Chain A
Amino acid sequence: MGLRETTVTTTPRATTRPIAPDLFTWPAERPCLVGSRCVECATVVFPAADTCPRCGSAQVESHELARRGRLFTYTTQNFLPKEPYAGPETEETFAGFTLGYVELGDEVMVEARLTEPDPERLQIGMEMEMVVVPFRRDADGTEVLTFAFAPIDPEVSS
């Protein structure tokens, strides 16, 4: 079972939480990833870091990443990952998922799960958009949300 490409309500509810705080703007009508940008050399990284991995500067600021980008490369995950994978599947129910790197402008490439489960419908260079989707549920029923990228026009690859 891949990620459901259902729209998650943008209204904050006690029963949902992002997989980690400060990864993406949430709740938000048009959520985006939050990285950091080096004040000295303009290098952008994701997730946000305290220092710049390129020049070593500690002068970094929070930086919202572009919501849209192009698929740089992708693959599938066809076997159930071991821990620390925390997806809801079991060996019996695991149906694989897709993942890739999405180039966000000329700033940074981010690795993410993709919502399109069929690799034949993915193409290097296709336009993708960041979405927030359900990933799994905590023991208390809280729905855990993650970021993912969805093809902007799924017809492109068909």
Chain B
Amino acid sequence: MNVAIVGVGMHPFGRFEGRNALELGEYAVRQALMDAGITWPDAEFAVGGTLGGVLEGSDESVQADVMVSQLGLTGLQFTNVHNGCATAGSTLAMGAALIESGAYDLGVCVGFDKHPRGHFNAEPEQHGLPRWYGELGLMITTQFFAMKLNRYMHDYGISRDALARVAAKNFRNGARNPNAWRRKPLSEEEILEARMLNYPLTQYMFCSPDEGAAAVVLCRADKAREVTDRPVYLRSVAVRTRTWGSFEVFAPWLSPDRGQAPTVDAARRCFEQAGVEPGDVDVAQLQDSESGAEIMHMAETGLCADGEQEELLERGETEITGRLPVNTDGGLIANGEPIGASGMRQVHEIALQLRGDAGERQVPGEPKVGFTQVYGAPGVSACTLLSV
């Protein structure tokens, strides 16, 4: 792809009373423009992703393009994206396509959200499901994560200690990240002994919905050095949805034909398009909705083989100082999940790591290749590959 990231910006993740979702997005955009050394009128297009409004208890629905009234009425093309848990990935895919097509040279992609406290509960009818399914208490996202994980642990010999290791690592990394929400390290014992929510997952193994925003400035790669002397190249971005037999959330029934997860397809496409092997990745940000998800996604993305995770975690290979650092900014476990912002946060973190700007959590040895992956309802995944 002929696309580079020439600026990144972020509004910290967490809970921010009295600040609306658009303000978070605007803040991230301003930070990204400042990082790129440009101003809003320089942006030829913008793409904004948010899921706000469909989640119960959130403010009334907001469209990302409303932020032009604060950023400046420059008349630019502004596209709103709303695509489930792949909202940020789709936002970036749209922005990259606008540059790839030759339509524009420079633009902004922003992802933001503001979710209320508590789990995401859903109405069966909105998902084409019968009422009784919700009435029986079977329509809860966290149950799906726990059941997919329980089977995976059984099939590939993953221990509960491994789940605690991932969560402890992500809290530790979050503690080094000034933009993270949860910045207190927790021990593996505290994580294992915390309240069980859905066996085998305890409270501290799950991420929570929260608020935040992240933005990037995209530029034609061959013109990137006119803007910055430190471009990060977006080598590929791939979004894929579920296929037959994939084990997904909100399913009263499943096919006994086991299909592969959408992450497998998205990651494969992403690596193929970039012409890079999973083994070349120096640093990765993976969807850790719960700590088991990070473990399963390590294999679904091709970064390791099924079952290899137990030993990798024991040896600390996914720590910042390991061979394959994963979720160096604390992942979703430490940052929470403002859905529209989450995938953009991952790209923001990889950009910092590849530029050597990640401060206390900088991966040593000048990493050159970074990878990101988000996954979520209703069976959608987005992956990106970045390099310097």
Contacts and interface: CB of A to CB of B under 8 A. Distances in A.
A113 B199 contact: no
Given A20-B132, A106-B256, A124 B150 contact: yes
Given A100-B147, A108-B254, A85 B198 contact: no
B140 A81 contact: yes
Interface stretch (B119-127, B181-189, B301-309, B326-334): B119-127
A119 B199 contact: yes
Interface string A43-60: 101110000001000000
A153 interface: no
Contacts of B118: 82
Nearest to A3: B136
Interface centre among B123, B148, B197, by most chain A C-beta atoms within 10 angstroms, is: B197
Interface residues of B, number: 36
B151 A124 contact: yes
B336 to A, nearest CB: 18
Interface string B175-195: 000000000000000000001
Contact of B196 (A76, A87, A99): A76
B147 A73 contact: yes
Interface string A99-116: 111010011111111000
Contacts of B148: 73
A52 B195 CA distance: 41
B154 interface: yes
A84 to B, nearest CB: 4
Contacts of B347: none
Interface string A75-92: 111110111111100000
B315 interface: no
Given A47-B130, A76-B196, A78-B196, A99 B252 contact: no
A114 B335 CA distance: 34
Nearest to A46: B253
B144 to A, nearest CB: 9
A146 to B, nearest CB: 6
Given A73-B147, A78-B196, A111 B137 contact: no
Contact of B253 (A75, A76, A87, A109): A109
> Interface residues of B: mostly helix, strand, loop or mixed?
mixed
Contacts of A34: none
Interface centre among A35, A43, A77, by most chain B C-beta atoms within 10 angstroms, is: A77
A149 interface: no
A103 B247 CA distance: 13
Contact of A99 (B124, B143, B151): B143
B251 interface: yes
Given A73-B148, A75-B147, A82-B118, A107 B136 contact: no
B139 interface: yes
Contacts of B138: 99, 111-113
Nearest to B146: A75
B16 interface: no
B135 A111 contact: no
Contacts of A26: none
Contacts of A35: 253
A47 B255 contact: no
B225 interface: no
16 contacts: A19-B135, A46-B252, A47-B253, A73-B147, A75-B150, A76-B199, A77-B137, A81-B121, A84-B135, A87-B135, A103-B256, A108-B254, A111-B138, A111-B252, A113-B136, A146-B136
Interface of B: 118-119, 121, 123-124, 130-132, 134-140, 143, 146-148, 150-151, 154, 195-201, 244, 251-256
Given A73-B151, A86-B136, A124-B150, 9 more contacts: A19-B132, A54-B244, A74-B199, A75-B146, A76-B196, A86-B135, A99-B147, A101-B254, A146-B132
